[in-house]
Amino acid sequence: MDAILIQILNGLDKGAAYALIALGLTLAFGTLGIVNFAHGALFMLGAFCAVTFSKVISFSKQIKDESVTIFDAYKEIPYLEIWWGDFGALIVDFAVPLSIIVAIPVMILVGIIMERGLIKHFYKRTHAEQILVTFGLAIVIQEIIKHFFGANPIPTPAPDIVSGSAAVGALVGLSENLVYPWWRLIYIVFSGLIIFAVFAFLQFTTFGMVVRAGMADRETVGLLGINIQKRFTIVFAIAATVAGLAGVMYSPILPPDYHMGMDFLVLSFVVVVVGGMGSLGGAVAAGFLLGVLQSFASMNEVKSILPGIDQIIIYLVAVVILLVRPRGLMGREGVFED
């Protein structure tokens, strides 16, 4: 039972990242009809918002380390700690969660610039052309990040208070030895909140209603005199922000590097296809489902029967779903079928 619970949690943790990226991808596709291969780069940009914020607030003064005698060594003490003592140290420690405040406006801006500057010129082009141009854009973004931050992963730790593990076993009446890292639990909850917020926004606001109408029939909404284009720009910015926030919060789990977005992008596209092109609920459900399946496939008991299954399970499921249900789990008729 312990093993099953731990695999479910592990699957939800990875699935949460897949779901958040796939949600943004589906939003962009459902509203703008754009197959955005630069979406993974937005996830990576979010993670680098955390890195940059962390570096800025950790800007340090060098102080001679008297404990080293064989040569002159220096310790780095962040200025915030020098100025504000423990409170300053606390701010530095909470760099990742605090970087969300910076990441939201940055990602909205990036989304708007991307959509207005490039994507809008490709609305009426073929999907193949869209894929080519957004893939090119992703590479440009990657190379810019590589130029400024280097090619190596940059450790971006979670706050000390949540760097340990939670006794989840004791909470649900199982073994006391059953623990799970706090930050990964926070990530699962965080992604749930973001998904809920996006759905609530689309479901309960007038803006969301128009967007949903636009997703169903863009032409008719346009004929009603609604500036659907302006709304779609905002939707693209929201999609970018969702991907960015997913990246910010994932940075303590996977030290960010310039390539991290591409690693997730391919899997997230599979998630979108399995969930059903254009279906927000399908993308979220498929994200979590495939994350959990991948986690169970990595169990030794499974791998001893099917070696290497953990590496291919997601693609295998995608093939089966497409054969049995070509529109994906929750795909709508007519989407991507012209």
Partner 1 sequence: MKKNDTNKSRRTFLKTATASSIAATAPASMFYIKDAFAAEDFRNNPKDSKTVTLGFNVPQSGAYADEGADELRAFKLAVKHLNGEGDGGMMNTMKPSMLKGNGILGKKVAYVTGDTQTKSDAARASAKRMIEKDGALMISGGSSSGVAIAVQGLCQEMGTIFMAGLTHSNDTTGKDKRRYGFRHFFNTEMSGASLGPVLEKEYGNERTAYHLTADYTWGWSQQGSIKKYTEELGWKTKAAVKTPVGAGDFSQFITPVLNSGADVLVLNHYGKDMVNSLTQAVQFGLRDKQVNGKDFQIVVPLFSRLMAQGAGDNIKGILGSTNWNWSLKDAGSQAFVKSFGKEYGNPPSQAAHTCYVQTLLYANACEMAGTFYPPEVIKTLEGYKFDGMGNGATEYRAEDHQCFKDVLVVRGNEKPSSQFDLLEVVQEVPRAQVEYDASLLGGELGPYKV
Residues that bind partner 1 (CB under 8 A): 2-3, 6-7, 10, 13-14, 65, 67-68, 70-75, 150-153, 155, 163-165, 177-181, 183-184, 253-255, 260, 294-295, 298-300, 310
Q: Angle at Cα 287 formed by Cα 283 and Cα 289, nearest 5°? A: 115
Nearest approach, Cβ of residue 181 and partner 1 (Å): 4
The token pair that represents 287 in the structure block? 């994200």
Of 228 and 265, nearer to partner 1 (C-beta) is: 265
Nearest approach, Cβ of residue 147 and partner 1 (Å): 13
Of 182 and 336, nearer to partner 1 (C-beta) is: 182
Of 97 and 276, nearer to partner 1 (C-beta) is: 97
The number of angstroms, rounded, from the C-alpha of 116 to the middle of its chain's C-alpha atoms is 22
**DSSP conformational letter for 72:** -
Of 93 and 115, nearer to partner 1 (C-beta) is: 93
Nearest approach, Cβ of residue 298 and partner 1 (Å): 4
Tell me the C-alpha distance between 118 and 126, whole Å. Answer: 15
Tell me the C-alpha distance between 283 and 268, whole Å. Answer: 9
The token pair that represents 295 in the structure block? 């986690």
Tell me the C-alpha distance between 66 and 46, whole Å. Answer: 39
Q: Angle at Cα 91 formed by Cα 90 and Cα 97, nearest 5°? A: 110
Of 72 and 333, nearer to partner 1 (C-beta) is: 72
Q: What φ, ψ does residue 19 adopt, rounded to 5°?
A: -65, -45
Nearest approach, Cβ of residue 75 and partner 1 (Å): 6
Of 206 and 300, nearer to partner 1 (C-beta) is: 300
Sign of torsion, CA 215 218 220 223? positive
Nearest approach, Cβ of residue 299 and partner 1 (Å): 5
**Residue 60 host element (H or E):** strand 60-64
Nearest approach, Cβ of residue 39 and partner 1 (Å): 20
Nearest approach, Cβ of residue 10 and partner 1 (Å): 5
Of 13 and 115, nearer to partner 1 (C-beta) is: 13
Tell me the C-alpha distance between 256 and 151, whole Å. Answer: 10
HSE toward the beta carbon, residue 8, CA cutoff 13 A:
8
